[in-house]
Structure 1
Amino acid sequence: MPAEVDAVVAEVAGVIDTGLPGLTTEMTDYFVEVIPEFRHDEAVRRLMIASTSANLVAIVDMLAHSIPLDRITVPPAAAEYARRFAQHDLSLEALLRAYRLGEHRFVQWALDALGRLGHTDTTAVLATVSELSERTNFYIDQVVEGLIDIYETERRRWDSRTGAARAAQLRLVLDNDQITEAAAQELLDVPMGDWHQAATAWVPSTTTDAGRILQNATRFLQETTGRAPLTMLADDRTLWAWITSPSEPAIDRDLLGGLLAKSEGLRIALGAPGRGLAGFRGSLREAQRARAVAETAHDQQHRLLEFDDVAVAALLTEHSEDISRWVARVLAGLTSNDAPTQQLRETLRVFLELNGSYTQAASRLHLHKNTVHYRIRKAEEIRGKPLSAGRLEVEVALRVFDLLHSRIG
């Protein structure tokens, strides 16, 4: 029976081998579709295809020629792709997931090929299925074990070699006004003339495993943009990141918010996209200002904050004493933190946001229209002047007070 099974296994391998180029394309397209980390630039994409092809050829050869399982090694192209994966800060979990998905798909191909061969001996067919599955699984296990060592070794080597150097290069580009766009591109190996969107990710100071959690930020940005971000650790609890692309970067904000909701204390602030060196620098400044708003806002529940949503407050975070005095002048007695005053501020903010409509404000706040009338009159009394006197200033002051509460309250 073993010799008979070996013969059928070799037949199956022969069928797969005849269509291997097309099957390789099918598998690599599948990886790109279901695993965001596999959406590479052209050079790395070619290496990914070479890695997939090398593994498929090795499996087919193993099955066709009954190569002993103890002679299985990691194909050179697969080893190099694992190293490149580590260098690009892509997760080991994504790489291993591809191997398991690939194993499943290969076994499906083998079963289809076996069916086309038309063998009628049920016992032999079942034995062949078992042998195909077992040999393929053993190959994947052996290669994965080797890849884990390759990836982790490269990750340690790359971090020690590039971490400090990359941070120094990035700070030079960010802080040196004399550096040209061409020089920045050569220094960072980033197409500086493209679009850039920066993010700052951070965790609370009480976090015990900040490094691991900040790595999640890199993975989340990759998953929600389809591009590997350029990253650096700004300090032990802060990561800076940039997404670069020929067209304006598109982040799936709903997906990113959902991922952040499941991560331990991780928060991300996004700058607006910008082109060129000015966009590269400016987007990070905006992300940093948005973070300042996030950390001082009355509501600390938001895990994802965008600069454009808090731009007015964010632009004022560096002048908190001046803005505090201005807000106090505009709002007068409406800056107290007791519950009745908070209600007045909220009613006033919604009323102004809805263009002075008592009806719409009552609906938004779930109040009676007369209650809104009363609160607006009360707010005017406390301020000592009607809303028509400096209405825009009142609206801005309310927004700033809400977003920068701990700085100016």
Structure 2
Amino acid sequence: MERISDGSVADSAAAVVARLTAALDEVTARTQRVLVGEIADLRGDTQLVQLLRDNVAANIDTVFSAIRHGIPVEHVEAPTAALEYARRLAQRNVPANALVRAYRLGHQEVLKILLEEIRTAELDASRRLDVFDEILAVTFRYIDWITQQVLSTYQQEYDRWQQSRNRLQADEIRIVLAGNDEVDVDAASMALRYPLRRTHLALVLWCENSDDDTLAVMERYVHEYAAAVDAGEHALFVPADRLTGWAWIPVTEQSAPLPPHPVLRVAAGRPLPGVAGFRRSHRQAQLTRTVMLSADSHLPVSAAESGVLLAGLAGHDLDEARTWVAEVLGPLASSTDSDERLRETLRVFLCAGSSFKGAAARLHLHFNSVKYRVGRAVERRGRPITEDRLDVEVALLLCHRFGAAVLGD
């Protein structure tokens, strides 16, 4: 073993690193094996693995050059391969944490190799510690600096890529929603990364106020719900604007109730199959949203709930709906608390097949109380409900769904 000069500690550190520079390929390969073995997210295709190797080699060569030539870390330029690797991980949705871990574990492995080299050098014990301390200080500063550089690059690329991907997804989704019968289902599924041949539950999500995290909150809600219903495949989420998101979740024919959220408002269609179901469930969710907006409802509402879609169709012209409700219900369409109780009792009574007993069970009231309220409701209306029962049921439904929006004073 050639003896290392007994000059300054920096000279000795430079000599150690110079000897390892000659074995850069071996140092790179050993470090890469550790990273791929420890971090599953880095086990990509051949192209990505090759770029990882170039990234490792470039970083090691850069920091070794800084030590050999006494270059301050702040004067070093980030390797092109390091920045490109960060961009590529962002494009593939590999978590930023995997990138940070790669630098930490890579630093640890390179330090092990350097320590092995120092131990074989002909230096006294004290000088060995000083040399290792010198190398440790420089490499730590480099890792701290380069990590900031690559994370900044990663985030910029992630934001750009997500915006671009969202635009492409939105364009593809609008093509599917347009109802073009010539849509290539398999090609569209691949473009959207979503199984269009499955049964779909469409959601429309929105909030009143926006901040930088609003769309992320929506997307998180969608994926948490998808996990809760065991969707088995990735849900599809795309921003419609800065306050609104559209989503589709591959489900079975039945799905769990949507959980309430303190900020978001959520409207759902019915679970429906295939491309036609993808479109129809979305239209249903839009109609459901119309109902929620008109009724100022903040709890999630599904199109599967009785009367929601019918109310949604009427909700496009609430002024006309209000006039019609007043014509059908007469004084019963007033906004007083007592008339509201009478309307709700009459509505449930009719839904129960005009059964006083059935309505009493649903309303948790005594049989006679239901009978009395139904009689009072008919009196308030001013005429029997036998001849235009369907109109009465629809008018009561609109009152139930829209409340004050379709009621008189």
Tell me, yes or no, whether TM beats 0.5: yes
Instruction: Pick one of 304, 308, 313 that aligns with 1:308.
Output: 304
Q: Name the amino acid aligned to 1:175.
A: A
CA distance in 2, matches of 1:284, 1:295: 16
Count of matched residue pairs: 352
Say whether the 8 Å CA contact 1:54–1:78 is kept in structure 2.
no
Instruction: Pick one of 55, 58, 83 that aligns with 1:58.
Output: 55
1:182 is aligned to 2:181 = no
1:23 — aligned with what? Answer: 38
Say whether the 8 Å CA contact 2:311–2:401 is kept in structure 1.
no
1:144 — aligned with what? Answer: 151
Any gaps of 5 or more consecutive residues in structure 2?
1-8, 21-25, 67-72, 120-124, 227-232
Say whether the 8 Å CA contact 2:90–2:154 is kept in structure 1.
yes
1:91 — aligned with what? Answer: none
1:192 is aligned to 2:196 = yes
Say whether the 8 Å CA contact 1:334–1:379 is kept in structure 2.
no
Query: In the TM superposition, what is the alpha-carbon distance from 1:380 to its structure 2 partner?
Result: 2.4
Say whether the 8 Å CA contact 2:335–2:404 is kept in structure 1.
no
Where in structure 2 are the equivalents of 1:97-136 lying within 5 Å?
98-100=98-100, 106=105, 133-136=140-143
SS in 2 for 1:189: helix
2:274 — aligned with what? Answer: 276
Where in structure 2 are the equivalents of 1:9-408 lying within 5 Å?
17-25=32-40, 27=41, 46=44, 54=51, 58-59=55-56, 62=59, 66-68=64-66, 70-73=76-79, 74-83=82-91, 95-96=95-96, 98-100=98-100, 106=105, 133-152=140-159, 154=161, 158=164, 163=167, 170-176=173-179, 179-182=181-184, 185=187, 189-190=191-192, 191-204=195-208, 207=209, 213-214=214-215, 216-218=217-219, 220-222=221-223, 224-225=225-226, 227=234, 229=236, 231=238, 233=240, 238-243=244-249, 253-254=258-259, 257-258=260-261, 261-262=262-263, 266-297=264-295, 300-302=297-299, 304-309=300-305, 311-319=306-314, 333-345=331-343, 356=358, 361-362=363-364, 373-374=368-369, 377-384=372-379, 398-408=396-406
1:267-298 deviation digits (Å, cap 9, x = unpaired): 3322233332211211111111110121122x
Q: Name the amino acid aligned to 1:192.
A: L
The normalised TM-score by structure 2 is: 0.60
CA distance in 2, matches of 1:166, 1:347: 47
SS in 1 for 2:297: coil
Q: Name the amino acid aligned to 2:87.
A: A
CA distance in 2, matches of 1:7, 1:251: 64
CA distance in 1, matches of 2:15, 2:298: 61
SS in 1 for 2:196: coil
1:21-67 deviation digits (Å, cap 9, x = unpaired): 32132x55xxxxxxxxxxxxxxxx946x9658855873577458725
CA distance in 2, matches of 1:185, 1:328: 51
Instruction: Give the number of the structure whose alpha-carbon radius of gyration is greater.
Output: 2
The normalised TM-score by structure 1 is: 0.60
CA distance in 1, matches of 2:342, 2:363: 12
Moved more, 190-199 or 317-326: 317-326
Say whether the 8 Å CA contact 1:344–1:375 is kept in structure 2.
no
CA distance in 2, matches of 1:215, 1:24: 26
1:57-87 deviation digits (Å, cap 9, x = unpaired): 73577458725452433353432343455xx
SS in 2 for 1:300: coil
Say whether the 8 Å CA contact 1:79–1:147 is kept in structure 2.
yes
Give the percent of matched residue pairs that are identical in Structure 1 and Structure 2.
Answer: 21
CA distance in 2, matches of 1:340, 1:167: 48
CA distance in 2, matches of 1:80, 1:285: 37
Measured on the aligned residues, the alpha-carbon RMSD in Å equals 5.5
2:4 — aligned with what? Answer: none
